[in-house]
Copies of this chain bind each other. A is one copy, B any other.
Amino acid sequence: MTKEKQFVKEITTMEDDFAQWYTDVVKKADLVDYASVRGSMIIRPYGYAIWEAIRAALDQMIKETGHENIYMPLLIPESLLQKEKDHIEGFAPEVAWVTQGGAESLSERLVIRPTSEVLFGEHYAQIIHSYRDLPKLYNQWANVVRWEKTTRPFLRSLEFLWQEGHTCHATGTEAQEETERMLEIYAEICEHFLAIPVLRGRKTDQEKFAGAVHTLTIESLMHDGKALQTGTSHYLGTGFAEAFGIQFTDKNGELQTVHQTSWGITTRLIGALIMVHGDNRGLVVPPRIAPKQVMIVPIAQHKEGVLDKAYALKEQLKSVARVDIDASDKKPGWKFNEYEMKGIPLRLEIGPKDIEKDQVVLTRRDTGEKMPVPMNELETKVTELLHAIQDNLFARAKAHREEKTTVARTMDEFKTALVENPGFIQAMWCGSPACENFIKDETSATSRCIPFEQEHVSGHCVCCGEKAEHLVYWAKAY
């Protein structure tokens, strides 16, 4: 057993049991703990700091595109939820019901918001009167509750955190442009910050949001070949607006109904982060979103000058990176393991020998590469490496997705691909729900999206063999 081995927190390997590996990482990287309520999670400081980083980046982009934050009530009266028929049908089976307040039994039940379209609908009807009031571009950061049967931290939990944008526009064109703009912002958050490559596309009618005309989506591929929907942007048309009476007088003095959108991303993104970049030593956090980018580990820190130098390095690096130091009396081996498990992009070792040589030793979390770096090149090198790690994580994930994407022209090819190279399947679809359902029943794979970038991989539906024009990405999904 090597010296480092003995400090290794034991986690299941991905190859042995991917689901268990995920649970182990979530727990041992101190992202989440479990609470008394089935299916609820405690987001621990390290997990929450990652969420704060995602939120800060996204909030800035949401504001820069002219949106304003607002806060809507948590509780929705049953009668309000019922105003839009498709919407209530979609959500009723999975809401939590409040039936009592203090000692009083409520005459009307309340639901804890599973999403807030109806609250925004009611509010917009109050405040929109004229074309001058449009567009209305609101966003909310909030918690929502959905009564899920089986739950997993970040991926599917009773309660989760998210943002939900809700906008009103004078025309359908403007509203549809908005859904595209927001989908692109979500893609930017995933690709630029989280280093997660995404497919951009549209959901089939069966997979769209309850109450939407259509749903745009970004989809990404996890290590185990399963897909994860990482963000959605819905064009709601005038359905909610008609149900709630959101009308405005246009420039010609005529009464019109607004066109709406809604869009959201959730703490699920942290689940994606884990399953796209993580490895058998734990989490790997892309530098741009990492709460801590560099962790300094002093070696032989009881020796004169080591800790002083380590703290000086922390000061020195402050201007180029989010840097921290672990000067606790734990063994360096324990520390190495701990910060690998937490996925901190760079480890910086500094000991008496390094001080003699006027150098430090940097180790990349993504590749494991270890390198001595002269003190006077430190800032440059750290900056360079953080960029390199960010780029490498994205490139690696993209290569993985490409490798795990198979074209299928027949159901046989489809099924073989799912077994031999689990991941995305590109296959043509005739557009009929019957074929979509057949594929789902036969293979457990669902249509993930009709990508904006269409390729013509064949002329016929993979399922029924009829003429088909839509390329669809299919996959088993979370």
A: which residues have CB within 8 A of B?
A: 33, 35-37, 40-45, 48-49, 51-52, 68-77, 79-80, 92-104, 110, 112, 119, 122-123, 126-127, 132, 138, 142-143, 145, 147, 158-159, 161, 328
Neighbouring B residues of A76 by C-beta, 8 Å: 36-37
A101 touches B93 (CB 8 A): no
A28: min CB distance to chain B, Å: 13
A420: min CB distance to chain B, Å: 38
For the complex of A and B, list the 7 residue pairs with the smallest distance between their C-beta atoms, beginning with the closest. Answer: A40-B73, A45-B68, A97-B100, A43-B71, A101-B147, A102-B147, A99-B99
Distance A40 CA – B122 CA, assembled complex (angstroms): 14
A75 touches B159 (CB 8 A): yes
Chain B residue, CB-CB nearest to A51 = B71
SS of A interface (majority): mixed
Distance A142 CA – B73 CA, assembled complex (angstroms): 13
Neighbouring B residues of A94 by C-beta, 8 Å: 102
B98 touches A70 (CB 8 A): no
B49 touches A69 (CB 8 A): yes
Ordered by A's residue number, 27 sampled pairs between the chains whose C-beta atoms are within 8 Å are A33-B123, A33-B126, A33-B127, A35-B122, A36-B77, A36-B79, A36-B119, A37-B77, A41-B73, A42-B70, A43-B70, A45-B68, A48-B70, A49-B68, A52-B69, A74-B145, A74-B159, A92-B102, A93-B102, A95-B101, A96-B98, A96-B110, A97-B98, A97-B99, A104-B147, A142-B143, A143-B143
Distance A397 CA – B217 CA, assembled complex (angstroms): 52
Q: How many copies does the complex hold?
A: 2
B99 touches A95 (CB 8 A): no
Chain B residue, CB-CB nearest to A328 = B132
Distance A97 CA – B96 CA, assembled complex (angstroms): 10
Neighbouring B residues of A68 by C-beta, 8 Å: 45, 48-49
A327: min CB distance to chain B, Å: 13
A21: min CB distance to chain B, Å: 22
A422: min CB distance to chain B, Å: 31
Chain B residue, CB-CB nearest to A119 = B35
Asked whether A123 and B35 contact (CB < 8 A) given A98-B98, A103-B93, the answer is yes
9 further A-B contacts with Cβ under 8 Å, apart from A33-B126, A73-B158, are A36-B80, A42-B70, A42-B119, A48-B71, A49-B69, A97-B98, A97-B101, A98-B112, A99-B100
A26: min CB distance to chain B, Å: 14
Neighbouring B residues of A74 by C-beta, 8 Å: 40, 112, 143, 145, 159
A126: min CB distance to chain B, Å: 6
B73 touches A35 (CB 8 A): yes
Neighbouring B residues of A93 by C-beta, 8 Å: 102-103
- Counting chain B CB atoms within 10 Å of each CB, the highest count among A68, A74, A76 belongs to A74
Neighbouring B residues of A77 by C-beta, 8 Å: 36-37
Neighbouring B residues of A37 by C-beta, 8 Å: 73, 75-77, 110
Distance A52 CA – B55 CA, assembled complex (angstroms): 13
Neighbouring B residues of A138 by C-beta, 8 Å: 45
Neighbouring B residues of A41 by C-beta, 8 Å: 73
B72 touches A96 (CB 8 A): no
Distance A433 CA – B423 CA, assembled complex (angstroms): 70
Distance A51 CA – B70 CA, assembled complex (angstroms): 10
Distance A79 CA – B52 CA, assembled complex (angstroms): 32
Neighbouring B residues of A159 by C-beta, 8 Å: 73-75
A147: min CB distance to chain B, Å: 4
A101 touches B96 (CB 8 A): yes
Distance A127 CA – B36 CA, assembled complex (angstroms): 15
Neighbouring B residues of A45 by C-beta, 8 Å: 68-70, 138
Distance A104 CA – B95 CA, assembled complex (angstroms): 10
- Counting chain B CB atoms within 10 Å of each CB, the highest count among A37, A43, A71, A76 belongs to A71
